[in-house]
Each structure stands twice: as C-alpha cells, then as structure tokens.
Amino acid sequence: MSVGLNAGILRAPRTGIGNYLTELALALSRHEDLRLSLFTGWRWQAELPDSPLPGYSRWSGLVKKALPGAYRVRRLLEQQRFDCGLHHRPIDLYHEPSLWPLRFDGPMVMTVHDLTHVHYPQTQPKDRLREIERHVARGVAQARRILVDSRFVAEEVCRHYGVPTSRVVVAPLGCAARFHPREHAALQAPLAGFDVRPGGYLLCVGTLEPRKNLPLALRAYGHLPASLRARFPLLIAGMPGWHLDELDGMLPAARADGQVRLLGYQDDEALAQLVAGARLLLFPSRYEGFGLPVLEAMNSGTPVVLSSASSLPEVAGEAGLYFAADDEAGCAEAIRRLLEDEHEWQSRRAAGLRRATEFSWQRCAAITAGVYRQAMES
C-alpha cells in the first residue's frame, strides 16, 4: 500500500505534531507492506527532512503580516504542488497528521490531536482560526477513519463533530529513544551550559500560550520556601506562542533573582538532557490531547507533577502527582513533596518508568497501519 503523509509541518522547528509525525513515519517505515511518500509542502520525497527550513518561522510570520489571506494563498499553492506530484508518485491513501487536510479524491485518514481551536479560540490568530475551522470540518467529514491520541479526545471528537465511534480510533503516542535515564556524571557538562546541576532544578516544557497554564506554575513556585527556590530554580523550555499578556506581566519579577529562567526552544538532544536531569517535570496544562512531555519525563526517570485536566491522567496513570488546574496551593504542595521527600521521589520515579513501558511508537504505528487497512476496505 502506498501512503501519502503530509509532512509540511516539518518545515518549522519541531514541536508536538512535528515529533509525532517524525516518530510515526520512522516506525511505519518498518512495515514492509507500506510505502511512505512524504509531502513537504513543496514536493514529494521518500525520506524525512533532515532539518527545518532555515528561518522558516521568522519569514512565515513576516509573510502573514504583510499578505492578507496568507494562509489561504499558501494552501492554494500547496494544493497545486500536492496534485502535481501525485501524477508522478501516485498514492493509495492520504494521511493528514493535523487539522489542515489537503484535498484528495481517494481514501483519507486524519489525525486529530486535540480540539484546542474549539476550547481556546482566543489563542489563535483570527485568520488562522478561520482556516482551521474550514479545513477541519471538511476533513472530519471526509476521513474514513480518524486517529486520536487518547480516549479523552475520541469522546470530544464524537461529541463535537457528531462522528460515530466506529470511525474514531485511539492510537496512544510513544516516546523517542533519546528520552531515557542518564547518569548524573554524563549530564554535568551539558547542563553546565544552563548553569544548573543534575537533579538541581525544576523543568516546564511547552509552547508559551494560555492553555499551558504557566502563570499558575509561577505562582505555585513562588509559594515555595525561599531556601527551596534557591536550591531548585525553575527552567521553562518552549517557543513563544500567543496571548502571553498575563505571563509577560509576571515574568520580570519572577526572573529578577535568577530563580525562574526562560530557555526558549531547545533542540532534540538538549531537551532530552534537560528532561533527564530535572528533579521533576512540572506540567500544569489546562488542556492536552495527550501530553507527550509527561511520557518523555517518565521514560527518562523524572517524576511528574501535573494537573488532573483533560487527557493527562490517561498518560501518567498512578505515577503522576496531581493537582487541580486552578489550585496553585495544591501545585506548590505537590512540588514540595517531591523536593523534600526522597522516598516519595524514588517511588514516583519507579512508577513512572513502569508506566512508560506501556507506550511505544511501534504500538502507535501498528494501530495506525491497521487503520490504513480499514480505511482502504471501507
């Protein structure tokens, strides 16, 4: 079976969906009955791109500001290139891994990772939101099967779009091999570049946007005793997102003493080192379709303090130490427990490592390949 996979998102630095696409494609390539063709937004190719386009995020942002209807213009150009390439590289089935499916006359599978555009429309630029709503509605109606990362999202898709449960399949994500436990000695040198020591900091990971709930993380961190904050700075790794007014208002005071540090976007290996070296991952998100950093932390032997919102309990299970997404005192208490109680820390670490073994990209790919076959037969 020849499968066309839209890999256009890999033009930008990889975040959640880009990591999903990369790991899934690698795992699917081991299925001998599948032949993958990747559409990069401009051309079709057999291999994953080695790296994002230099300066893509900057130039893309400038074009969107300067050109009215930039999203629609880009989509028209991509559709032309997509169609043209199919004459030379025909496919049996098209898989769209995000909410922006291109038009295809044959069988189509679509992945819906979450419904952020429904629950948090204010976090999207208006023109982008209009295009998402237009394309996702058409894609959900057209797709023979819809893949989701969690039962939570499956229920949301069925309820919001009126999709029968028979068309929605849960394929939990996996964890990249670079996320694994590491000896502190091996982390001393790379972490020195961040002016921290292994086991001596807290880490938040994710795009800086409202649903990630970082203001609560900052307030909870501020509740900790000064002695703990001095020993364990809070590092935040992630790209800037939208509507950061509240966060921007809090950051100058939070960063004044050097205990809260913004690291920005980190490449794959640097992020894996940061995750493995953290005393804990703090993940206060209000809404996730899965929560891949939670799995990555557990697989690295790093305990997780996280909100009990949306899909997160499906991922962390009994290994996570939970708080309500609006409970900053509860968040602070959970952090303090893992900083001060070594037995609790070791117990959560062991539980996280066990829990992580239940997820793999091989399993995700096997479910996905099965969905391709179902879509071809339906």
Return d(Cα 359, Cα 366) in angstroms, integer. 12
Return d(Cα 260, Cα 220) in angstroms, integer. 12
Per-residue model confidence (pLDDT) at position 93: 98
Return d(Cα 200, Cα 36) in angstroms, integer. 43
| CATH match of 2-174+360-377 with 3.40.50.2000 | yes
Please state the pTM of the whole predicted model. Answer: 0.90
Per-residue model confidence (pLDDT) at position 243: 56
Q: What's the maximum distance between 2 C-alpha atoms anywhere in the chain?
A: 65
Taking alpha carbons only, the member of 148, 143, 127 closest to residue 63 is 127
Return d(Cα 241, Cα 219) in angstroms, integer. 20
Number of residues written out for the chain: 378
Taking alpha carbons only, the member of 270, 276, 268, 336 closest to residue 19 is 268
Query: Where exactly does CATH 3.40.50.2000 map onto the chain?
Result: 2-174+360-377, 184-356
Beta bridge partners, 261, equal 235
134 phi and psi angles, rounded to 5 deg:
-70, -45
Per-residue model confidence (pLDDT) at position 67: 61
Pairing of strands 35-39, 44-45: antiparallel
Domain 184-356, CATH class in plain words? alpha beta
341 phi and psi angles, rounded to 5 deg:
-105, 100
Per-residue model confidence (pLDDT) at position 58: 57
**Residue ranges, the chain, pLDDT below 70:** 52-69, 123, 241-256, 258
Radius of gyration of the chain (CA): 21
Per-residue model confidence (pLDDT) at position 163: 95
Per-residue model confidence (pLDDT) at position 71: 72
